[in-house]
Amino acid sequence: MKNTFIHQHPFHMVDRSPWPLGAAIGAMVTTAGLVSWFQGDSINTAALGILTLIIIMTLWWRDVVREATFLGMHTSFVVRGLKIGFILFVVSEIMFFFSFFWAFFHSALSPTAEIGMSWPPQGINSINPWGVPLLNTAVLLSSGASLTWSHHSLREGEGSEAWSSLLITVLLGLWFTSLQAYEYWEASFTIADSVYGSVFFVATGFHGLHVIVGTTFLCICLLRLVRGHFSLNHHVGYECAIWYWHFVDVVWIFLFICIYWWGGA
């Protein structure tokens, strides 16, 4: 007689998945392709890597949604672990951006002779903070307000208000990205123009990348919200997306004050 052992615990024992390996391969191909593209080669390798990442991300997200919504694997104990893990991830992101601000203030507070003993360095025409950067600040802060509205509406059982205000947040995120792309296009300096150009484009560029990731995150939440995957008290994926977006908002405020306003004066 065969004995069947059933685990009686609240943990979610994740099944074997090919997606972590596939994502690593896609990231490697993307990085190699971008380096080759920067050296003047074709962009085909980078495009292949990005396409691979998009496919892997779609399939991986599908599995997570299936586990959370249809298989009931995200118990209250698992949800608590997911929240703790995401908080630690946000902390690591804070350290990531802290390094950029460290590099910025290291050069801005004590400019060397190589850059003319001044900040911004001689020959650099910094971007006017009261133009596109100020507009982007208003756009991003407005998106944070509409996202809070969406979360409150979901908690109150107002489904139509929840998804409509979330749609507004997604549109504002896309608007922010478009404005930043325009700002880069019109900038009079490049990433190769002294330490100022390097710090400016790396710090604001990585923030822009986080906005794109956050917008994608919110788009998935919008799709799940419309399909009724979230309940009043069980929407950990949406809560993590909200935390991530508010983190992006706070980082932008520091970028605007330090790099655009104080550092560009």
Task: CATH number of the domain at 28, please.
Answer: 1.10.287.70
Confidence check: pLDDT of 2 > 70: no
Token representation of residue 238: 């949406």
In a domain, 56, yes or no: yes
The number of distinct structural domains making up the chain is 2
pLDDT at residue 118 greater than cutoff 90: no
Where residue 1 falls among pLDDT bands split at 50, 70, 90?
A: very low
Sign for the CA dihedral angle at 223, 226, 230, 232 comes to positive
**pLDDT at 6 > cutoff 70:** no
Q: d(Cα 23, Cα 28) in Å, to the nearest integer?
A: 9
C-beta separation of 214 from 244 below 8 A: yes
For residue 136, the model assigns a pLDDT of: 95
Per-residue pLDDT, averaged over 4-17, amounts to 68
Is 9 within a domain? no
Residue 187 lies in a domain: yes
45 token code pair? 């390798």
**Coil vs helix vs strand at 228:** coil
133 and 162, same domain (yes or no): yes
> In this structure, are 23 and 133 located in the same domain?
no
> Closest by alpha carbon to 104, among 247, 207, 211?
207
Range of the structural domain that residue 161 is part of: 76-262
Residues 255 and 148 in one domain: yes
pLDDT tens per residue across span 141-159 = 999 999 999 999 988 888 7
Percent residues over pLDDT 90 in the chain: 60
pTM (two decimals): 0.87
